[in-house]
Each structure stands twice: as structure tokens, then as C-alpha cells.
Amino acid sequence: MRKKIVAGNWKSNLTVKEGCQLAKAIAEGLPEDSAAEVILFPTFLHLLAIQAASPIPVGAQNCSAYHNGAYTGEVSTAMLAAEHIQFVLLGHSERRQYFGKTDAAVAVRLQRVLEEKLTPVICVGEMLEARNTGEQFDIVRGQLEKGIFSVDIENPEDIIVAYEPVWAIGTGHTATTEQAQEMHAFIRNSLAEKYGNAAEHIRILYGGSCKPENAESLFACPDVDGGLIGGASLKAADFLAIIKAVKNI
């Protein structure tokens, strides 16, 4: 039984003070018998403050491809590990779209994350053009092969994958639960081809527009193991409603 994850990606939002207030509100609203594992992904600037303000685990939105050294502006995985930051988001669609992160760039960062025994959350997903031309499975398969399968992973069940239907985020298009399940099943089958039975233990999160209104139906899909939540994670009430949806499944 894979425990579902509800992760909040705050992106470049909130001051440190606002972030601490939000993290406290989420922590205070969590039910004692929560069925979900909850993670917050604030900016690097927020990490230690949020960690001190709330018992909820935090993760980094990115990491350096390099070890410590003369790499101005970078944050290494060794630095994250030293501060007990367990999770690292890799290959988010916005990193790919706006900052030129390629599958090869994801792979080298994945290697750094694994070297420090941290937990990667690796994002894959297709743009609208690929969806319209029916190439979505080829695109995602390529991202898996180049960004994940090219790295030697000793314990594949410890990685987390997040599927982002980029074509349905801020475009006016909506991904149905059937489309979400279809791609999640494809990803799990691809993982099984590479890792065998371990694929049944790898959690695959849905990184589309997950809201309180559709969280329960999405999380009920057999291969959807939770969500990587964007905008709804910036409001305590909405984020808590999504977390509580897990218990209703």
C-alpha cells in the first residue's frame, strides 16, 4: 500500500514571515490521523525558517549540479543534507521552460541528490503541442529514460515521480481523471520495465491543477499517489481540504 503524498510547491511566492504563518496554519489544521504524508517546497530563502516554525517536512525546489565550490548562486545537495532538508524537486516544468533545464541536467542533479541519500521528486510531463499531436507518451518516456533511467539508482522505490500535464496548467484546458490515470499507469508501466516489482512501491504524484473540488476523484485513481500542489497550497484552507480528501478514499 503506497501512502499518498500531498506536497505544496510554493514556487516564488510569500515573504519568509508569510511562509512561516502559512506553515503554522497548515500544521495546526492537520488531523491527527492524517492519511497523507505532507511536504512543503518553499524557496531556498524560506527553508530553515519554515523548518523551525513547523513540524511539516520541507524540500528544496531545485539543487546545484555541482558539489561545494566556486559556483556563485548555487545551493549544493551537501548543504541541504547538512540542514536535514530531505526532499528535492527536480525537473519541474517551470525549470525546464524558463531556465533551460534539460533531461541531462535533471539526471546530473538526481545523481547529486542520491549521493547525499536525499529523496528526489522528479517531474515529467508534456506541453500542449505534444498532447495535440499525440506524442505525449513518447515525450514522457523520453524524460524518464534520459532523466531517471540513465542514473544508477540503488533503491528505486525511494524515488518519487510527479506527472505535470503542462498542457492543462493555465491554458484553459482541463485534464480529466481518466487522462491523469492513463498517464500515471503509463509511467508506472515504464518504471516496471526498468525496475520490476519495485515500481509498485514508487509513488507517482499528479502535478496538474489539483484543487479541493477534484482532489478526491484524482486521488482515487489507482496509480495516482497524491499531488504536487501549486496555487492551492498557498491557502491553508484549500491545502488542508486537499490533504483531508485522502482520508475519504
Mean of the pLDDT values across residues 95-103? 96
- Choose which CATH entry (3.40.640.10, 3.20.20.70, 3.40.720.10, 2.60.40.10) describes domain 5-248: 3.20.20.70
Which residues 6+ apart lie within 8 Å of 17 measured at CB?
none
For 189-225, how does the pLDDT look when each residue is reduced to its tens digit (9 = 90+)? Answer: 999 999 999 999 999 999 998 999 999 999 999 999 9
3-state secondary structure of 100: coil
Residue with cell 505525449: 136
Distance, CA of 111 to CA of 120 (rounded, Å) = 10
Q: What is the domain partition of the chain in residue ranges?
A: 5-248
Distance, CA of 232 to CA of 243 (rounded, Å) = 11
Closest-CA residue to 93 (of 132, 48, 67, 130): 130
3-state secondary structure of 193: helix
- pLDDT number for residue 34: 86
Angle formed by the axes of helices 136-144 and 103-115, to 10°?
40
Residues marked as catalytic? 92, 164
For 4-43, how does the pLDDT look when each residue is reduced to its tens digit (9 = 90+)? Answer: 999 999 999 999 999 999 999 999 999 888 899 999 999 9
Number of separate helices (H) and strands (E) present in the chain: 10, 8
Instruction: Evaluate the CA torsion angle 119, 240, 175, 216 in order and state its sign.
Output: positive
Closest-CA residue to 88 (of 228, 217, 220): 228
Nine-digit cell string for 131: 498532447
The strand ranges marked E within the chain are 5-9, 37-41, 59-60, 87-90, 119-124, 160-163, 203-206, 226-229
Closest-CA residue to 49 (of 93, 85, 81): 85
Residue pair 10/233 in contact by the 8 Å Cβ criterion: yes
For 133-192, how does the pLDDT look when each residue is reduced to its tens digit (9 = 90+)? Answer: 999 999 999 999 999 999 999 999 999 999 999 998 877 677 899 999 999 999 999 999
Instruction: Tell me: pLDDT of 248 over 90.
Output: no
3-state helix, strand, coil split of the chain in percent (to 5) is 50, 15, 35
pLDDT bracket for residue 57 (50, 70, 90): very high
Residue pair 209/133 in contact by the 8 Å Cβ criterion: no
Which residues 6+ apart lie within 8 Å of 201 measured at CB?
2, 157
Closest-CA residue to 43 (of 25, 28, 27, 23): 23
Distance, CA of 224 to CA of 5 (rounded, Å) = 10
